[in-house]
Structure 1
Amino acid sequence: MTHAIADSRVPALLDFLSVSPTPWHATATMAQRLEREGYRRLDETSNWQLVPGERAYVTRNDSSLIAFRLPDSHTALTSLRMIGAHTDSPCLRLKPSPAQASQGWLTLGVETYGGVLLSTWFDRDLGLAGRVQVRHQDGRRESLLLTVARPVACVPSLAIHLDRDVNSGRAINAQTQMSPVVMQLPESGDTPVEVFHALLIDLLEEQHGVRVADIIDFELGLHDVQLAAQSGLRGELITSARLDNLLSCFVGLEALLEADGEQGALFVATDHEEVGSASACGAQGPFLADVLKRINHYVGLDNEEGYQCLVQRSLMISCDNAHAVHPNFADKHDAGHGPKLNAGPVIKVNANQRYATNSVTASLFRELCREQNVPVQTFVSRADMGCGSTIGPITASEVGVPTLDIGLPQWGMHSIRETAGSHDVALLIKVLVAFCNREVLE
């Protein structure tokens, strides 16, 4: 008899994944969740008046978010339990002037964002989503989210009859072969630019119920409209776009919300990790340090020494998914360090500091897993293969906080549709809640 894994968090995770096609949508969704739980929104341009027991959050660029909770007593905050993730995922982003005509069809010029696994984008039903800057009829400017969740585009494959060697391996040219087809051009004589401009205005009216006067600028991308799902004969799997790294965003936020609040805890989800994190709202930027300094001011040690004491007494757990052993490509892993789906969180290690883990930070996480009766795995790349990186080393070097890198195992990283284990979600949340509740971090 088949049955799905009974975990109340899985449906909530699937909903979060499905309604978060871009970093702006993910941040807005997390902000709504925080406000439902009593967290108040702070504005970076205003003075913060924090109080004991404060639960608050702040966003930057509408695509990065930091949420934190303070203990009930001023004197109790001597350290912070920090969980980090990132909101962005590899995708196809529209160029600033994307509209182009080809054989009577409107196609869109795109550029790749991050390390996209391009082959997986062919023949998928694609929607359009992102952030649009508009001018209203009264001259007012506004930033609007656009969410087109129905199929409006596709990147059609070339028939095998016209490329007999395709299954032997063919390079994909993102400039000439990845343009999504949107619609058949009308015979009105309107240019592709005019057609696309009118199309955007129609889509915004469809979603927001208002007819804008003009589109000033936009940041838009394509996304797979297939909803996230729990799959496998017994519900062992989760399949979705953007598991890397919205899965970690969900887990980290849930852990913060489920913590008992006795200790200082913070969750940070930054944008632009997939392209190096070098931005004002990325992990290499000052966002986290800016918030920590404001929290330090609340503590009453409003000086550099007090700030350094707070940072060095704290700990950052950087959460970003790990490569699970693929059943068809087991040789791509080191034989002794091949994480498996549904076998618990993974400690990520790299001798060249592509991950920030060291024996001290790893041992604390192993002890947390042991205390919570949660299995723990270790990932190390093969010595003859390169290794990706995370926000962990960047945060450690920019802020100076002791850090380790962990994540949940997954298959198909950077594919348009990735796969993870449904058991693992509750396991990592359990450990991270224990981390947030831990009285002593040493």
Structure 2
Amino acid sequence: MNAVTHSEDFASFISASPSSFHAAREVAARLEEAGFHRQEEEEPWDASRGGHVMVRDGAVMVWWVPEEVKEVRFSIVGVHTDSPTFKVKPNPQADVEGYGQVNAETYGGLLGNSWLNRDLGLAGRVFTESGEHLVKTDPIMVIPQLAIHLDRSAREGVTLNSQNHLHPIFSVSGGSLVDILKTDAGTDEDIVGFDLVAYDSQGPARIGPDREFFASGRQDNLLSVHAALAAMEKVSATTGSVAVLAAFDHEEIGSRTNTGAAGPILETVLRRTAGALGLSTEDEVQRAFARSACLSADCGHAVHPNYGEKHDPSHRPVLGQGPLLKHNANQAYMTDGWGTALWNRVCHHAGIASQDFVSRNDVPCGSTIGPLTATRLGIRTIDVGAPLLSMHSARELSHIDDVYAMSQAIASFWEIA
């Protein structure tokens, strides 16, 4: 594997993962093919030697138990499967000015203007009386931008109201959106429930004179999900810790769900694994947590050459120069001195470069699952991630060297942490 072949695999993973539900199942399917055992939540817990995977809706939890576990501890990589998009409302269709429109609301902090004039499909899951069906339609809708002749002020910037201006159109012939979904699901049954989001149908592409840039939607945070998946597929040894991949859903909207990092899903997996490995008291579990570490892997910001003033003058991460170690004095990121030392050791072991990211003092940064995991479990956590441009747009930009280096760093973390 090298940066090119890794990016090709990443492109295939993104294309197979238009929604968090698809991403979770794609991770599980690939790991099961690699020999991991599928764990159902209602079944007795399995912590036998080797790999195990559990899917809950749009989240997937993975744990790999080494041959010898002298004292239980966990090396956790936390990522998230969701990305900013549009989510379909319960009454999915409206007829406006002779057009069939999709009733949708914004999900997460998306850049609305980047979604204009793009060929969009719907993806997610629908429910019928016979059960759940994953769906991924062809491109069936678009959000057309208002012509410059009707809005001369657009030259100075586009202001979009999420209720008035961001509903896609899909028909002028009175077609039924529900019928399209039933056809895609391969069912004649009535749809009795759904969780559907929009996705940009333009596939990933490598661009630039040397094709070093990677352009695609949903890189935040499928880049980290795939990096961890590729590392987990090849995991063969640790220093005795249980390697854990925690791919949460709903990070973009606060994580306060049963599949989000603010919920109990990771703690449940760790506690059930600890119990299956013989820890029977709360003191033993807490000692295991105290020995553990978590790498919160989410994407970060490269310096934008057209907006250099938006970045800290002493910290200027650039695409292609390595993953980011993310710092924030107010603990929006959890990195501290201990974490910095660990990350430097991880990168040295992997033979990769790293960059520091710190926001300007007057430009507040976002946050990650890192503070939530650290607060909920008390496990030492650091925040890292590959640098991006155009984060939260319909099409983000990374560098294939950083994409590959993230997977190398995660593999190194599991080997030595």
- Asked if TM exceeds 0.5, the reply is yes
Q: What are the equivalent positions in structure 2 for 1:13-52 lying under 5 Å apart?
A: 13-51=10-48
- Aligned-partner residue type, residue 436 of structure 1: W
- Aligned partner of 2:64 in structure 1 is 69
Paired with 2:74 and 2:47, the residues of 1 have a C-alpha distance of 15
Paired with 1:213 and 1:253, the residues of 2 have a C-alpha distance of 35
Match of 2:122 among 123, 128, 131: 128
1:10 equivalenced with 2:10 (yes/no):
no
Q: Share of identical aligned residues, percent? A: 37
1:112 equivalenced with 2:109 (yes/no):
no
- Aligned partner of 1:293 in structure 2 is 271
State the Cα distance separating 1:6 from its structure 2 match.
5.5
Contact 1:259 1:434 (8 Å CA) reproduced: no
When normalised by structure 1's length, the TM-score is 0.91
Paired with 2:201 and 2:38, the residues of 1 have a C-alpha distance of 30
- Aligned partner of 1:94 in structure 2 is 88
- Aligned-partner residue type, residue 11 of structure 2: L
1:198 equivalenced with 2:179 (yes/no):
yes
- Aligned-partner residue type, residue 208 of structure 2: G
Residues 6 and 351 (structure 1), Cα distance of their counterparts in 2 relative to 1, 3 Å cut: closer
- Aligned-partner residue type, residue 47 of structure 2: L
State the Cα distance separating 1:222 from its structure 2 match.
1.2
- Aligned partner of 1:332 in structure 2 is 310
Which structure is larger by alpha-carbon Rg, 1 or 2?
A: 1
- Aligned-partner residue type, residue 230 of structure 2: E
Q: Secondary structure at the match of 1:412?
A: coil
State the Cα distance separating 1:335 from its structure 2 match.
1.2
Residues 200 and 257 (structure 1), Cα distance of their counterparts in 2 relative to 1, 3 Å cut: closer
Unaligned runs of 5+ in 1: 136-140, 187-191, 206-210
Q: What are the equivalent positions in structure 2 for 1:235-384 lying under 5 Å apart?
A: 235-262=211-238, 263=240, 264-384=242-362
Alpha-carbon displacement from aligned partner over 1:249-288 (angstroms, at most 9, x marks no partner): 0011212222223432111100000000000110000000
Match of 1:56 among 52, 56, 65: 52
Count of residues in correspondence between the two structures: 414
- Aligned-partner residue type, residue 300 of structure 1: G
Contact 2:249 2:255 (8 Å CA) reproduced: yes
Alpha-carbon displacement from aligned partner over 1:196-237 (angstroms, at most 9, x marks no partner): 3333223322xxxxx332010111111100011111110111
Contact 1:354 1:393 (8 Å CA) reproduced: yes
Match of 2:196 among 203, 210, 220: 220
Paired with 1:365 and 1:198, the residues of 2 have a C-alpha distance of 51
Q: Secondary structure at the match of 2:76?
A: strand
Contact 1:70 1:261 (8 Å CA) reproduced: no
Match of 2:168 among 141, 162, 180: 180
State the Cα distance separating 1:397 from its structure 2 match.
0.3
Paired with 1:100 and 1:226, the residues of 2 have a C-alpha distance of 26
Alpha-carbon displacement from aligned partner over 1:111-170 (angstroms, at most 9, x marks no partner): 0000010000100011111110112xxxxx30110111x221000011000000012123
Contact 1:129 1:146 (8 Å CA) reproduced: yes
Alpha-carbon displacement from aligned partner over 1:55-111 (angstroms, at most 9, x marks no partner): 101111x210111111112x4343221111000000011111021111211001110
- Return 274-283 or 357-366, whichever deviates more: 357-366
Contact 2:135 2:181 (8 Å CA) reproduced: no
- Aligned-partner residue type, residue 158 of structure 1: L
Q: CA RMSD in A?
A: 1.4
Q: Write out the 4+ residue segments of structure 1 that deviate beyond 3 Å after TM superposition.
A: none
- Aligned partner of 2:132 in structure 1 is 143
Contact 2:72 2:274 (8 Å CA) reproduced: no
Alpha-carbon displacement from aligned partner over 1:342-364 (angstroms, at most 9, x marks no partner): 10110001111101111101111
- Aligned partner of 1:189 in structure 2 is none
Unaligned runs of 5+ in 2: none
- Return 313-322 or 295-304, whichever deviates more: 295-304
Paired with 2:214 and 2:358, the residues of 1 have a C-alpha distance of 24
Q: Secondary structure at the match of 1:367?
A: helix
